[in-house]
Structure 1
Protein backbone atom coordinates (compact mmCIF):
# COMPACT_ATOMS: atom_id res chain seq x y z
CA UNK A 1 0.00 0.00 0.00
CA UNK A 2 1.35 3.39 -0.99
CA UNK A 3 1.13 6.34 1.37
CA UNK A 4 -1.92 8.55 0.79
CA UNK A 5 -1.45 11.88 -0.94
CA UNK A 6 -3.08 15.20 -0.16
CA UNK A 7 -4.97 16.27 -3.27
CA UNK A 8 -7.76 18.51 -4.47
CA UNK A 9 -10.93 16.52 -5.16
CA UNK A 10 -13.87 17.35 -7.41
CA UNK A 11 -17.13 15.42 -7.51
CA UNK A 12 -19.50 16.21 -10.39
CA UNK A 13 -23.04 14.90 -10.78
CA UNK A 14 -25.60 15.44 -13.53
CA UNK A 15 -29.10 16.57 -12.67
CA UNK A 16 -32.03 14.28 -13.59
CA UNK A 17 -29.84 11.75 -15.39
CA UNK A 18 -31.96 8.71 -14.48
CA UNK A 19 -35.08 10.32 -15.97
CA UNK A 20 -33.55 10.35 -19.46
CA UNK A 21 -34.14 7.74 -22.13
CA UNK A 22 -31.29 5.45 -23.17
CA UNK A 23 -30.45 7.67 -26.13
CA UNK A 24 -30.62 10.83 -24.02
CA UNK A 25 -28.25 9.28 -21.46
CA UNK A 26 -25.84 8.33 -24.24
CA UNK A 27 -25.84 11.87 -25.64
CA UNK A 28 -25.60 13.44 -22.17
CA UNK A 29 -22.52 11.40 -21.28
CA UNK A 30 -20.80 12.39 -24.51
CA UNK A 31 -21.46 16.11 -24.13
CA UNK A 32 -20.76 16.03 -20.39
CA UNK A 33 -17.17 14.92 -21.04
CA UNK A 34 -16.72 17.37 -23.91
CA UNK A 35 -17.91 20.32 -21.84
CA UNK A 36 -15.60 19.44 -18.94
CA UNK A 37 -12.60 19.11 -21.26
CA UNK A 38 -13.33 22.38 -23.05
CA UNK A 39 -13.90 24.36 -19.85
CA UNK A 40 -10.70 23.02 -18.28
CA UNK A 41 -8.64 23.74 -21.40
CA UNK A 42 -9.90 27.32 -21.60
CA UNK A 43 -8.55 28.11 -18.11
CA UNK A 44 -5.25 26.31 -18.50
CA UNK A 45 -6.10 23.01 -16.78
CA UNK A 46 -5.04 19.72 -18.37
CA UNK A 47 -7.88 17.23 -17.96
CA UNK A 48 -5.67 14.45 -19.27
CA UNK A 49 -3.60 14.73 -16.08
CA UNK A 50 -6.66 14.32 -13.83
CA UNK A 51 -7.16 10.94 -12.18
CA UNK A 52 -10.84 10.15 -12.57
CA UNK A 53 -13.38 7.56 -11.52
CA UNK A 54 -16.27 7.62 -13.95
CA UNK A 55 -19.96 7.09 -13.34
CA UNK A 56 -22.70 7.32 -15.91
CA UNK A 57 -24.06 10.56 -14.48
CA UNK A 58 -20.80 12.12 -13.29
CA UNK A 59 -17.27 11.60 -12.08
CA UNK A 60 -14.87 11.87 -9.19
CA UNK A 61 -11.65 13.67 -10.15
CA UNK A 62 -8.38 13.78 -8.23
CA UNK A 63 -6.30 16.68 -9.47
CA UNK A 64 -2.50 16.90 -9.80
CA UNK A 65 -0.55 18.33 -6.87
CA UNK A 66 0.29 21.60 -8.60
CA UNK A 67 -3.28 22.65 -9.47
CA UNK A 68 -4.33 25.79 -7.58
CA UNK A 69 -7.66 25.63 -5.77
CA UNK A 70 -8.37 29.24 -6.75
CA UNK A 71 -8.08 28.37 -10.44
CA UNK A 72 -10.60 25.56 -10.06
CA UNK A 73 -13.16 27.56 -8.07
CA UNK A 74 -12.60 31.02 -9.49
CA UNK A 75 -12.08 30.16 -13.16
CA UNK A 76 -12.91 26.55 -14.09
CA UNK A 77 -16.32 26.43 -12.42
CA UNK A 78 -17.52 29.77 -13.91
CA UNK A 79 -16.28 28.72 -17.37
CA UNK A 80 -18.06 25.38 -17.06
CA UNK A 81 -21.23 27.22 -16.05
CA UNK A 82 -20.92 29.57 -19.03
CA UNK A 83 -20.55 26.67 -21.46
CA UNK A 84 -23.45 24.77 -19.95
CA UNK A 85 -25.74 27.78 -20.25
CA UNK A 86 -24.79 28.19 -23.89
CA UNK A 87 -25.25 24.48 -24.56
CA UNK A 88 -28.65 24.38 -22.84
CA UNK A 89 -30.03 27.50 -24.52
CA UNK A 90 -30.77 25.63 -27.76
CA UNK A 91 -32.11 22.42 -26.19
CA UNK A 92 -35.38 21.25 -24.74
CA UNK A 93 -35.38 20.79 -20.94
CA UNK A 94 -35.09 16.99 -21.16
CA UNK A 95 -31.83 17.27 -23.11
CA UNK A 96 -30.14 19.94 -20.98
CA UNK A 97 -27.09 19.23 -18.83
CA UNK A 98 -26.95 20.86 -15.41
CA UNK A 99 -24.35 19.93 -12.84
CA UNK A 100 -23.67 19.87 -9.13
CA UNK A 101 -19.97 20.36 -8.45
CA UNK A 102 -18.38 19.68 -5.04
CA UNK A 103 -14.81 20.64 -4.12
CA UNK A 104 -12.76 19.42 -1.15
CA UNK A 105 -9.17 18.52 -0.33
CA UNK A 106 -7.63 15.79 1.77
CA UNK A 107 -5.70 12.55 1.93
CA UNK A 108 -6.53 9.89 -0.65
CA UNK A 109 -5.00 6.55 -1.61
CA UNK A 110 -4.40 6.42 -5.35
CA UNK A 111 -3.74 2.66 -5.45
CA UNK A 112 -7.06 1.33 -4.17
CA UNK A 113 -8.19 -2.01 -5.57
CA UNK A 114 -11.64 -0.70 -6.52
CA UNK A 115 -11.50 3.07 -6.35
CA UNK A 116 -9.81 5.69 -4.19
CA UNK A 117 -9.96 4.98 -0.44
CA UNK A 118 -10.06 7.98 1.85
CA UNK A 119 -12.48 9.93 4.02
CA UNK A 120 -11.89 13.00 1.85
CA UNK A 121 -13.36 11.09 -1.10
CA UNK A 122 -16.40 10.11 0.95
CA UNK A 123 -16.91 13.71 2.08
CA UNK A 124 -16.74 15.33 -1.35
CA UNK A 125 -19.20 12.78 -2.76
CA UNK A 126 -21.62 13.34 0.13
CA UNK A 127 -21.49 17.10 -0.45
CA UNK A 128 -22.33 16.60 -4.11
CA UNK A 129 -25.38 14.52 -3.13
CA UNK A 130 -26.70 17.08 -0.61
CA UNK A 131 -30.43 17.69 -0.91
CA UNK A 132 -30.20 21.49 -0.36
CA UNK A 133 -27.77 21.79 -3.28
CA UNK A 134 -30.11 19.77 -5.51
CA UNK A 135 -33.05 21.94 -4.46
CA UNK A 136 -31.16 25.17 -5.09
CA UNK A 137 -30.18 24.09 -8.62
CA UNK A 138 -33.76 23.03 -9.35
CA UNK A 139 -34.99 26.48 -8.27
CA UNK A 140 -33.04 28.19 -11.09
CA UNK A 141 -34.02 26.56 -14.42
CA UNK A 142 -31.49 28.57 -16.43
CA UNK A 143 -28.51 27.83 -14.19
CA UNK A 144 -25.69 25.55 -15.27
CA UNK A 145 -23.81 24.77 -12.05
CA UNK A 146 -24.54 24.56 -8.33
CA UNK A 147 -21.21 24.69 -6.49
CA UNK A 148 -20.66 23.34 -2.97
CA UNK A 149 -17.33 23.51 -1.15
CA UNK A 150 -16.20 22.04 2.15
CA UNK A 151 -15.75 24.25 5.19
CA UNK A 152 -11.96 23.93 4.79
CA UNK A 153 -12.02 25.08 1.18
CA UNK A 154 -14.34 27.97 2.02
CA UNK A 155 -12.13 29.10 4.91
CA UNK A 156 -8.73 28.60 3.26
CA UNK A 157 -9.52 29.59 -0.33
CA UNK A 158 -12.85 31.37 -0.82
CA UNK A 159 -12.56 33.84 2.06
CA UNK A 160 -8.85 34.47 1.45
CA UNK A 161 -9.39 35.71 -2.13
CA UNK A 162 -12.68 37.63 -1.92
CA UNK A 163 -12.31 39.59 -5.18
CA UNK A 164 -12.04 36.40 -7.20
CA UNK A 165 -14.06 33.97 -5.08
CA UNK A 166 -16.92 36.29 -3.97
CA UNK A 167 -17.58 34.63 -0.58
CA UNK A 168 -20.65 36.80 0.04
CA UNK A 169 -22.47 34.77 -2.62
CA UNK A 170 -22.27 31.53 -0.68
CA UNK A 171 -24.70 30.16 1.87
CA UNK A 172 -23.68 28.04 4.79
CA UNK A 173 -25.33 24.64 5.01
CA UNK A 174 -25.11 21.66 7.32
CA UNK A 175 -25.14 18.62 5.06
CA UNK A 176 -26.64 15.56 6.70
CA UNK A 177 -27.14 12.00 5.51
CA UNK A 178 -28.65 10.42 8.64
CA UNK A 179 -28.73 6.92 7.20
CA UNK A 180 -24.97 7.13 6.66
CA UNK A 181 -24.13 8.88 9.92
CA UNK A 182 -22.83 11.89 8.00
CA UNK A 183 -23.00 15.52 9.16
CA UNK A 184 -20.64 18.23 7.90
CA UNK A 185 -20.71 22.00 7.37
CA UNK A 186 -20.28 23.29 3.82
CA UNK A 187 -20.91 26.41 1.71
CA UNK A 188 -22.77 26.52 -1.59
CA UNK A 189 -24.02 28.82 -4.33
CA UNK A 190 -25.72 28.62 -7.71
CA UNK A 191 -23.31 30.24 -10.16
CA UNK A 192 -24.61 33.40 -11.87
CA UNK A 193 -27.80 33.37 -9.79
CA UNK A 194 -28.94 35.65 -6.98
CA UNK A 195 -29.31 33.35 -3.99
CA UNK A 196 -31.21 36.01 -2.08
CA UNK A 197 -34.03 35.58 -4.59
CA UNK A 198 -34.43 31.94 -3.53
CA UNK A 199 -37.38 31.68 -1.11
CA UNK A 200 -36.24 30.19 2.15
CA UNK A 201 -39.13 27.75 2.34
CA UNK A 202 -38.48 26.56 -1.21
CA UNK A 203 -34.79 25.99 -0.59
CA UNK A 204 -35.56 23.67 2.29
CA UNK A 205 -38.86 22.34 1.05
CA UNK A 206 -40.35 23.56 4.31
CA UNK A 207 -43.12 26.13 4.81
CA UNK A 208 -43.58 26.12 8.60
CA UNK A 209 -41.58 28.21 11.11
CA UNK A 210 -38.78 26.83 13.28
CA UNK A 211 -36.17 28.15 15.74
CA UNK A 212 -33.37 30.16 14.22
CA UNK A 213 -29.76 29.03 14.14
CA UNK A 214 -27.04 31.09 15.79
CA UNK A 215 -24.57 30.46 12.94
CA UNK A 216 -22.71 33.65 11.99
CA UNK A 217 -22.45 34.36 8.23
CA UNK A 218 -19.29 35.79 6.69
CA UNK A 219 -18.74 39.55 6.62
CA UNK A 220 -19.52 41.37 3.36
CA UNK A 221 -16.65 41.27 0.87
CA UNK A 222 -14.93 38.27 2.46
CA UNK A 223 -13.42 37.34 5.77
CA UNK A 224 -13.51 34.15 7.70
CA UNK A 225 -16.79 33.00 9.22
CA UNK A 226 -17.41 34.34 12.70
CA UNK A 227 -16.97 31.02 14.43
CA UNK A 228 -19.04 27.93 15.01
CA UNK A 229 -22.71 28.30 15.96
CA UNK A 230 -23.67 28.16 19.60
CA UNK A 231 -26.80 26.10 20.00
CA UNK A 232 -28.64 24.68 22.93
CA UNK A 233 -30.27 21.26 22.69
CA UNK A 234 -33.62 23.01 22.57
CA UNK A 235 -32.78 24.94 19.40
CA UNK A 236 -30.72 22.33 17.59
CA UNK A 237 -32.39 20.89 14.50
CA UNK A 238 -32.94 17.14 15.01
CA UNK A 239 -31.37 14.75 12.46
CA UNK A 240 -33.54 13.95 9.49
CA UNK A 241 -33.58 13.76 5.75
CA UNK A 242 -32.72 17.08 4.14
CA UNK A 243 -31.91 18.87 7.40
CA UNK A 244 -29.83 21.99 6.88
CA UNK A 245 -28.74 25.00 8.86
CA UNK A 246 -27.72 27.91 6.67
CA UNK A 247 -26.68 31.54 6.87
CA UNK A 248 -28.46 33.48 4.13
CA UNK A 249 -26.29 36.07 2.36
CA UNK A 250 -28.17 38.71 0.38
CA UNK A 251 -26.45 39.84 -2.82
CA UNK A 252 -27.55 42.83 -4.88
CA UNK A 253 -26.75 42.33 -8.55
CA UNK A 254 -25.72 39.38 -10.65
CA UNK A 255 -24.82 36.38 -8.48
CA UNK A 256 -21.79 35.16 -10.42
CA UNK A 257 -18.34 33.88 -9.63
CA UNK A 258 -15.48 35.12 -11.71
CA UNK A 259 -13.88 38.17 -13.17
CA UNK A 260 -16.00 41.15 -14.08
CA UNK A 261 -18.90 40.35 -11.74
CA UNK A 262 -20.11 43.08 -9.44
CA UNK A 263 -22.15 42.50 -6.34
CA UNK A 264 -22.73 44.16 -2.99
CA UNK A 265 -22.90 41.59 -0.25
CA UNK A 266 -24.68 42.26 3.01
CA UNK A 267 -25.33 40.05 5.93
CA UNK A 268 -28.82 38.72 5.55
CA UNK A 269 -30.56 36.34 7.87
CA UNK A 270 -29.81 33.15 9.70
CA UNK A 271 -32.24 30.37 8.98
CA UNK A 272 -32.73 26.91 10.30
CA UNK A 273 -34.32 24.27 8.12
CA UNK A 274 -35.08 20.70 9.05
CA UNK A 275 -37.98 18.35 8.77
CA UNK A 276 -40.29 21.01 7.32
CA UNK A 277 -39.39 24.07 9.39
CA UNK A 278 -38.16 27.57 8.72
CA UNK A 279 -36.94 30.32 11.04
CA UNK A 280 -36.97 34.09 10.58
CA UNK A 281 -33.83 36.22 10.86
CA UNK A 282 -32.62 37.50 14.19
Structure 2
Protein backbone atom coordinates (compact mmCIF):
# COMPACT_ATOMS: atom_id res chain seq x y z
CA UNK A 1 0.00 0.00 0.00
CA UNK A 2 1.31 3.42 -0.96
CA UNK A 3 1.22 6.26 1.51
CA UNK A 4 -1.85 8.50 1.18
CA UNK A 5 -1.42 11.90 -0.42
CA UNK A 6 -3.00 15.19 0.55
CA UNK A 7 -4.98 16.39 -2.45
CA UNK A 8 -7.78 18.71 -3.46
CA UNK A 9 -11.00 16.77 -4.09
CA UNK A 10 -13.99 17.76 -6.21
CA UNK A 11 -17.28 15.89 -6.27
CA UNK A 12 -19.75 16.82 -9.03
CA UNK A 13 -23.32 15.60 -9.35
CA UNK A 14 -25.96 16.35 -11.97
CA UNK A 15 -29.41 17.50 -10.91
CA UNK A 16 -32.43 15.32 -11.86
CA UNK A 17 -30.35 12.86 -13.86
CA UNK A 18 -32.50 9.82 -13.03
CA UNK A 19 -35.62 11.55 -14.38
CA UNK A 20 -34.21 11.69 -17.89
CA UNK A 21 -34.95 9.22 -20.65
CA UNK A 22 -32.21 6.90 -21.87
CA UNK A 23 -31.41 9.18 -24.79
CA UNK A 24 -31.39 12.26 -22.55
CA UNK A 25 -28.99 10.54 -20.14
CA UNK A 26 -26.71 9.60 -23.02
CA UNK A 27 -26.59 13.17 -24.32
CA UNK A 28 -26.25 14.66 -20.83
CA UNK A 29 -23.20 12.50 -20.05
CA UNK A 30 -21.42 13.62 -23.20
CA UNK A 31 -22.24 17.30 -22.75
CA UNK A 32 -21.37 17.12 -19.04
CA UNK A 33 -17.88 15.84 -19.86
CA UNK A 34 -17.38 18.41 -22.64
CA UNK A 35 -18.47 21.31 -20.44
CA UNK A 36 -16.05 20.32 -17.68
CA UNK A 37 -13.16 19.99 -20.15
CA UNK A 38 -13.90 23.33 -21.81
CA UNK A 39 -14.26 25.22 -18.53
CA UNK A 40 -11.00 23.78 -17.18
CA UNK A 41 -9.12 24.53 -20.41
CA UNK A 42 -10.31 28.15 -20.43
CA UNK A 43 -8.82 28.83 -16.98
CA UNK A 44 -5.55 26.97 -17.59
CA UNK A 45 -6.34 23.67 -15.89
CA UNK A 46 -5.44 20.36 -17.52
CA UNK A 47 -8.31 17.94 -17.02
CA UNK A 48 -6.22 15.12 -18.49
CA UNK A 49 -4.03 15.27 -15.38
CA UNK A 50 -7.01 14.87 -13.03
CA UNK A 51 -7.55 11.46 -11.49
CA UNK A 52 -11.25 10.77 -11.81
CA UNK A 53 -13.82 8.18 -10.79
CA UNK A 54 -16.76 8.41 -13.14
CA UNK A 55 -20.43 7.92 -12.46
CA UNK A 56 -23.29 8.33 -14.88
CA UNK A 57 -24.52 11.51 -13.24
CA UNK A 58 -21.20 12.95 -12.08
CA UNK A 59 -17.66 12.29 -11.03
CA UNK A 60 -15.15 12.39 -8.22
CA UNK A 61 -11.93 14.18 -9.20
CA UNK A 62 -8.60 14.16 -7.39
CA UNK A 63 -6.47 17.05 -8.60
CA UNK A 64 -2.68 17.15 -9.04
CA UNK A 65 -0.58 18.47 -6.15
CA UNK A 66 0.39 21.68 -7.93
CA UNK A 67 -3.15 22.90 -8.70
CA UNK A 68 -4.02 26.08 -6.82
CA UNK A 69 -7.22 25.85 -4.82
CA UNK A 70 -7.99 29.50 -5.52
CA UNK A 71 -7.95 28.87 -9.26
CA UNK A 72 -10.37 25.98 -8.92
CA UNK A 73 -12.87 27.85 -6.75
CA UNK A 74 -12.35 31.38 -7.99
CA UNK A 75 -12.02 30.72 -11.73
CA UNK A 76 -12.94 27.18 -12.77
CA UNK A 77 -16.27 26.99 -10.93
CA UNK A 78 -17.50 30.41 -12.17
CA UNK A 79 -16.46 29.54 -15.74
CA UNK A 80 -18.31 26.24 -15.49
CA UNK A 81 -21.38 28.09 -14.23
CA UNK A 82 -21.15 30.58 -17.13
CA UNK A 83 -21.00 27.78 -19.69
CA UNK A 84 -23.88 25.91 -18.09
CA UNK A 85 -26.10 29.00 -18.13
CA UNK A 86 -25.35 29.54 -21.82
CA UNK A 87 -25.92 25.85 -22.56
CA UNK A 88 -29.25 25.78 -20.69
CA UNK A 89 -30.60 28.98 -22.20
CA UNK A 90 -31.53 27.21 -25.45
CA UNK A 91 -32.86 23.98 -23.94
CA UNK A 92 -36.10 22.82 -22.40
CA UNK A 93 -35.93 22.18 -18.62
CA UNK A 94 -35.73 18.40 -19.02
CA UNK A 95 -32.58 18.70 -21.12
CA UNK A 96 -30.72 21.23 -18.98
CA UNK A 97 -27.60 20.38 -17.01
CA UNK A 98 -27.28 21.88 -13.53
CA UNK A 99 -24.59 20.76 -11.11
CA UNK A 100 -23.87 20.42 -7.44
CA UNK A 101 -20.13 20.87 -6.88
CA UNK A 102 -18.37 20.09 -3.58
CA UNK A 103 -14.73 20.92 -2.77
CA UNK A 104 -12.64 19.56 0.10
CA UNK A 105 -9.04 18.55 0.75
CA UNK A 106 -7.49 15.71 2.68
CA UNK A 107 -5.57 12.47 2.62
CA UNK A 108 -6.50 9.94 -0.06
CA UNK A 109 -5.04 6.63 -1.25
CA UNK A 110 -4.59 6.64 -5.01
CA UNK A 111 -3.93 2.90 -5.27
CA UNK A 112 -7.23 1.53 -3.97
CA UNK A 113 -8.45 -1.70 -5.51
CA UNK A 114 -11.89 -0.32 -6.30
CA UNK A 115 -11.74 3.44 -5.91
CA UNK A 116 -9.96 5.91 -3.65
CA UNK A 117 -9.95 5.02 0.05
CA UNK A 118 -9.92 7.91 2.48
CA UNK A 119 -12.25 9.78 4.80
CA UNK A 120 -11.73 12.95 2.75
CA UNK A 121 -13.32 11.21 -0.23
CA UNK A 122 -16.32 10.18 1.86
CA UNK A 123 -16.54 13.73 3.25
CA UNK A 124 -16.62 15.52 -0.11
CA UNK A 125 -19.25 13.12 -1.44
CA UNK A 126 -21.44 13.70 1.62
CA UNK A 127 -21.23 17.45 0.99
CA UNK A 128 -22.29 17.03 -2.62
CA UNK A 129 -25.28 14.89 -1.64
CA UNK A 130 -26.46 17.27 1.11
CA UNK A 131 -30.09 18.34 1.18
CA UNK A 132 -29.29 22.07 1.69
CA UNK A 133 -27.28 22.01 -1.52
CA UNK A 134 -30.10 20.34 -3.43
CA UNK A 135 -32.63 22.86 -2.11
CA UNK A 136 -30.40 25.82 -2.91
CA UNK A 137 -29.94 24.78 -6.53
CA UNK A 138 -33.66 24.09 -6.91
CA UNK A 139 -34.46 27.55 -5.51
CA UNK A 140 -32.66 29.30 -8.39
CA UNK A 141 -33.92 27.79 -11.66
CA UNK A 142 -31.55 29.85 -13.84
CA UNK A 143 -28.40 28.89 -11.94
CA UNK A 144 -25.82 26.48 -13.30
CA UNK A 145 -23.82 25.54 -10.18
CA UNK A 146 -24.46 25.24 -6.46
CA UNK A 147 -21.04 25.17 -4.78
CA UNK A 148 -20.44 23.79 -1.31
CA UNK A 149 -17.03 23.78 0.36
CA UNK A 150 -15.80 22.34 3.61
CA UNK A 151 -15.14 24.63 6.58
CA UNK A 152 -11.39 24.19 6.02
CA UNK A 153 -11.58 25.28 2.40
CA UNK A 154 -13.76 28.25 3.32
CA UNK A 155 -11.36 29.35 6.06
CA UNK A 156 -8.08 28.75 4.19
CA UNK A 157 -9.07 29.67 0.65
CA UNK A 158 -12.37 31.55 0.30
CA UNK A 159 -11.83 34.10 3.06
CA UNK A 160 -8.14 34.61 2.17
CA UNK A 161 -8.85 35.69 -1.41
CA UNK A 162 -12.06 37.74 -1.18
CA UNK A 163 -11.49 39.52 -4.49
CA UNK A 164 -11.80 36.18 -6.28
CA UNK A 165 -14.01 34.15 -3.95
CA UNK A 166 -16.59 36.72 -2.79
CA UNK A 167 -17.06 35.14 0.66
CA UNK A 168 -20.12 37.33 1.31
CA UNK A 169 -21.97 35.15 -1.21
CA UNK A 170 -21.50 32.04 0.96
CA UNK A 171 -23.85 30.88 3.69
CA UNK A 172 -23.00 28.42 6.45
CA UNK A 173 -25.10 25.26 6.37
CA UNK A 174 -25.28 22.12 8.44
CA UNK A 175 -24.82 18.94 6.47
CA UNK A 176 -26.51 16.02 8.19
CA UNK A 177 -26.85 12.41 7.05
CA UNK A 178 -28.40 10.72 10.12
CA UNK A 179 -28.30 7.24 8.65
CA UNK A 180 -24.55 7.59 8.06
CA UNK A 181 -23.66 9.30 11.32
CA UNK A 182 -22.49 12.41 9.49
CA UNK A 183 -22.96 15.96 10.79
CA UNK A 184 -20.64 18.77 9.73
CA UNK A 185 -20.71 22.48 8.95
CA UNK A 186 -20.02 23.62 5.39
CA UNK A 187 -20.30 26.79 3.31
CA UNK A 188 -22.67 27.10 0.38
CA UNK A 189 -23.25 29.49 -2.50
CA UNK A 190 -25.22 29.42 -5.72
CA UNK A 191 -22.84 30.97 -8.21
CA UNK A 192 -23.89 34.45 -9.39
CA UNK A 193 -27.03 34.40 -7.26
CA UNK A 194 -27.88 36.43 -4.16
CA UNK A 195 -28.64 34.04 -1.30
CA UNK A 196 -29.39 36.75 1.26
CA UNK A 197 -33.11 36.07 0.85
CA UNK A 198 -33.47 33.09 -1.51
CA UNK A 199 -36.85 31.70 -2.51
CA UNK A 200 -37.63 28.52 -0.62
CA UNK A 201 -38.10 25.59 -2.93
CA UNK A 202 -40.79 23.07 -2.14
CA UNK A 203 -42.65 25.19 0.40
CA UNK A 204 -45.88 27.10 0.20
CA UNK A 205 -46.97 30.40 1.67
CA UNK A 206 -48.76 30.27 5.04
CA UNK A 207 -52.54 29.96 4.74
CA UNK A 208 -54.44 33.26 4.68
CA UNK A 209 -56.42 34.38 7.71
CA UNK A 210 -59.94 32.91 7.71
CA UNK A 211 -62.56 35.07 6.08
CA UNK A 212 -66.31 35.13 6.57
CA UNK A 213 -68.09 33.47 9.44
CA UNK A 214 -69.91 36.61 10.64
CA UNK A 215 -68.98 39.18 13.30
CA UNK A 216 -67.85 36.58 15.81
CA UNK A 217 -65.21 35.22 13.42
CA UNK A 218 -64.09 38.75 12.57
CA UNK A 219 -63.78 39.60 16.26
CA UNK A 220 -61.45 36.66 16.87
CA UNK A 221 -58.87 38.02 14.42
CA UNK A 222 -56.12 40.31 15.59
CA UNK A 223 -56.31 43.92 14.34
CA UNK A 224 -53.07 43.39 12.37
CA UNK A 225 -54.77 40.60 10.43
CA UNK A 226 -57.67 42.78 9.31
CA UNK A 227 -57.70 43.71 5.62
CA UNK A 228 -55.80 46.94 4.99
CA UNK A 229 -57.85 49.94 3.99
CA UNK A 230 -56.84 51.95 0.94
CA UNK A 231 -55.04 55.18 1.77
CA UNK A 232 -57.66 57.30 0.07
CA UNK A 233 -60.61 55.73 1.91
CA UNK A 234 -60.59 58.55 4.49
CA UNK A 235 -61.07 56.17 7.43
CA UNK A 236 -59.41 56.03 10.83
CA UNK A 237 -59.10 52.92 13.01
CA UNK A 238 -58.41 53.05 16.75
CA UNK A 239 -58.01 49.65 18.34
CA UNK A 240 -60.58 47.50 16.58
CA UNK A 241 -63.05 50.34 15.82
CA UNK A 242 -62.95 51.93 12.39
CA UNK A 243 -64.98 54.95 11.15
CA UNK A 244 -65.00 55.96 7.50
CA UNK A 245 -65.81 58.99 5.40
CA UNK A 246 -67.19 62.14 7.00
CA UNK A 247 -67.49 60.46 10.39
CA UNK A 248 -63.72 60.04 10.69
CA UNK A 249 -62.68 60.82 14.23
CA UNK A 250 -59.80 62.40 16.07
CA UNK A 251 -58.76 63.20 19.61
CA UNK A 252 -61.79 64.15 21.69
CA UNK A 253 -64.24 63.69 18.82
CA UNK A 254 -67.43 61.66 18.89
CA UNK A 255 -68.53 58.91 16.53
CA UNK A 256 -71.69 56.84 16.28
CA UNK A 257 -71.23 53.16 17.10
CA UNK A 258 -72.62 50.32 15.08
CA UNK A 259 -75.82 50.21 17.17
CA UNK A 260 -76.30 53.99 17.33
CA UNK A 261 -74.53 54.63 20.66
CA UNK A 262 -71.93 57.37 21.01
CA UNK A 263 -68.33 56.28 21.44
CA UNK A 264 -66.01 59.05 22.67
CA UNK A 265 -62.24 59.08 22.15
CA UNK A 266 -60.21 61.48 24.22
CA UNK A 267 -57.97 61.86 27.22
CA UNK A 268 -55.97 58.81 26.14
CA UNK A 269 -59.00 56.50 26.49
CA UNK A 270 -59.87 54.01 23.76
CA UNK A 271 -63.50 53.00 23.27
CA UNK A 272 -65.02 49.98 21.61
CA UNK A 273 -68.20 49.77 19.54
CA UNK A 274 -70.25 46.71 20.34
8 Å contact from structure 1 (residues 172, 186) kept in 2: yes
Go from structure 1 to structure 2 and tell me whether the alpha carbon gap of 1:196 and 1:204 turns closer, same or farther (over 3 Å shift): farther
TM-score normalized by structure 1? 0.71
Flag the structure with higher helix content: 2
Structure 1 residue 74, shift from structure 2 partner: 0.1
| SS state at 1:197 partner | coil
Distance 1:178 1:205 in 2: 22
User: Shift in Å at residue 163 of structure 1?
Assistant: 1.0
Task: Indicate the structure (1 or 2) with the bigger Cα radius of gyration.
Answer: 2
Where does residue 75 of structure 1 map in the other structure?
Answer: 75
1:164-175 counterparts in 2 under 5 A? 164-175=164-175
Alignment of 1:112-261 (within 5 A): 112-199=112-199, 202=200
Secondary structure, in 3 states, of the residue corresponding to 1:142? coil
How far did residue 196 of structure 1 move?
Answer: 1.6
User: How does the TM-score come out when normalised to structure 2?
Assistant: 0.73
1:11 is aligned to 2:11: yes
Select the structure with the greater relative contact order (CA < 8 A; seq sep ≥ 6).
Answer: 1
Aligned residues: 206
Residue 36 of structure 2 is matched in structure 1 by 36
Distance 1:58 1:84 in 2: 15
Equivalent-residue separation in structure 2 for 1:164 and 1:21 (angstroms): 38
Q: Which residue of 1 aligns with 2:211?
A: none
* Consecutive unaligned residues in structure 1, runs of 5 or more: 209-282
Q: Secondary structure at the match of 1:90?
A: coil
Q: How far does the alpha carbon of each residue in 1:232-261 deviate from its partner, in whole angstroms, 9 at most, with x for none?
A: xxxxxxxxxxxxxxxxxxxxxxxxxxxxxx
Question: Distance in 2 between the 1:181 and 1:110 partners?
Answer: 25
- Whether contact under 8 Å (2:128, 2:148) holds in the other structure is yes
Structure 1 runs of 4+ with >6 Å offset: none
